[in-house]
Structure 1
């Protein structure tokens, strides 16, 4: 093959690669723009009043002053094996004045920020069911019954769960996440492009399943149970922090000493859910 042909082929391949990357980036940015411009029930005056509140200003000021020390303390705790000590040294990165417990009081329930502020026809996801859908029914109710809920578990759910899911405008998926069932496939099959509220409890599957989702799709709030050592918890929190998620609630699991529930919100959704940003307390990977 002439040398000129090789150069030409490489040039064409490079141009095609650049074109595909550009198109992919365009659609990702477009999804974010569409989300941010979709009308919500948020009262702008309420948000402004909240941000101008002297109490909130003082709370944010104190958080910013202590943030550097909070990161150092948490990092040192992550080097040890005591999970409870790590969880209790966690400081909030965002203030939500309207936290609501959704689901069971013990294991399985999650703290959601201002759930009534979801957008119309939003997408809810509940990953990890085991035929226990108290959270799913509750979140469907408090969001006004206007959202589509996608649920998944490693095994098919029993008939009672299937019938209950049909009544809450739900769609069920079965498969091990993410090896057999990538989260993106659920969205593609249901025709959804972003997620408003994501509950994820998939027994360590979160370490490989979550990042591809939040990298390629827009997600507002995440309620995640992380399993493992303090250092593993920190690594997962750093991954979410890299994509703009900030902690607004930490809830120790009373039945599992190496598990903890974290509620996080995307920085781009804070105004919608009337949340105030505080200091960043999760140390970055290179800190």
Structure 2
């Protein structure tokens, strides 16, 4: 058995289909007009995305609304070795899309933002303060980026010959030096500016610091020269002093993009900062919100 559609019946069938299509289009139009507050509205959902398509605007709103709370919590950071308030409050201030940990898997590796971007830069300079006969970070960074950067390595102590050879093979130079507030060549003490002048460098793209607590003594030197990224391990002292160092970086134009608590000693942590003048160089497009200053 089958239904035969004559010319008259087929015309009615087409008319019905057309009517249903028109009704469907009207319904969709009404939904899009009134969907501003609808959870599953397609057009509204697309409109909430930022122009760079990295982070949903609703997520950014959460981060930004939390800024006053974080700042209030940081006021409670004690002058003791209790780091719980500080660590529980910290979050990145900017989003780095290609964040990677370079170097040894355990203690000594550093989180870095978009390291491959140095390959397209006209010139790249990496400064490394604190070697302790372990240039594994420097070697892996140079391998990863194709030896693009000029590497300057420093330590207050002399390094063994194999370490010097490894640094040299990574397109680097080693200098026995202690960064200080005043230059005294007889004691191998140098200001950061004098060190850079010695090598003829105008700025530092990546500054890696692991100098066992001496970072507190040279904090003014660290912000006295143009630097794009600071990868620093902060050691010991009180949580209040650690916070004050983070805030000093912040007031100097740096934004936190990463932090990692040391699993061996919770009074130590790795921090990654990027300067606002270098956002374009490393594809920083999304700012969660600045709360450290």
2:123 is paired with a residue of what secondary structure?
A: coil
* Contact residue 87 and residue 260 of structure 1 kept, 8 A: no
Deviates more, 1:129-138 or 1:139-148: 139-148
Give the 3 Å change call, closer, same or farther, for CA 86–94 of structure 1 in structure 2: same
* Contact residue 180 and residue 221 of structure 2 kept, 8 A: no
Unaligned runs of 5+ in 2: 1-48, 182-188
Give the 5 Å matches for 1:144-183.
Answer: 144-178=146-180, 180-183=189-192
Give the 5 Å matches for 1:117-136.
Answer: 117-118=117-118, 119-136=121-138
Give the 3 Å change call, closer, same or farther, for CA 72–245 of structure 1 in structure 2: same
1:77 is paired with a residue of what secondary structure?
A: coil
Aligned length: 234
Deviates more, 1:180-189 or 1:144-153: 180-189
Unaligned runs of 5+ in 1: 1-48
1:263 matched to which residue of 2?
272
1:29 matched to which residue of 2?
none
Query: If the length of structure 2 is used for normalisation, what is the TM-score?
Result: 0.75
* Contact residue 74 and residue 86 of structure 2 kept, 8 A: yes
Write out per-residue CA displacement over residues 195-222 of structure 1, whole angstroms, 9 at most, x where no aligned residue. 001101112221232322423x211000
Query: If the length of structure 1 is used for normalisation, what is the TM-score?
Result: 0.76
1:278 matched to which residue of 2?
288
2:77 is paired with a residue of what secondary structure?
A: helix
Bigger CA radius of gyration: 2
Looking at structure 2, the residues matched to 267 and 210 of structure 1 have their Cα atoms a distance apart, in angstroms, of 19
Q: 1:191 aligns with which of 200, 206, 224?
A: 200
Q: Whose RCO is larger (CA < 8 A, sep 6+)?
A: 1
Looking at structure 2, the residues matched to 168 and 221 of structure 1 have their Cα atoms a distance apart, in angstroms, of 20
Task: Give the alignment's Cα RMSD to 1 decimal.
Answer: 1.9
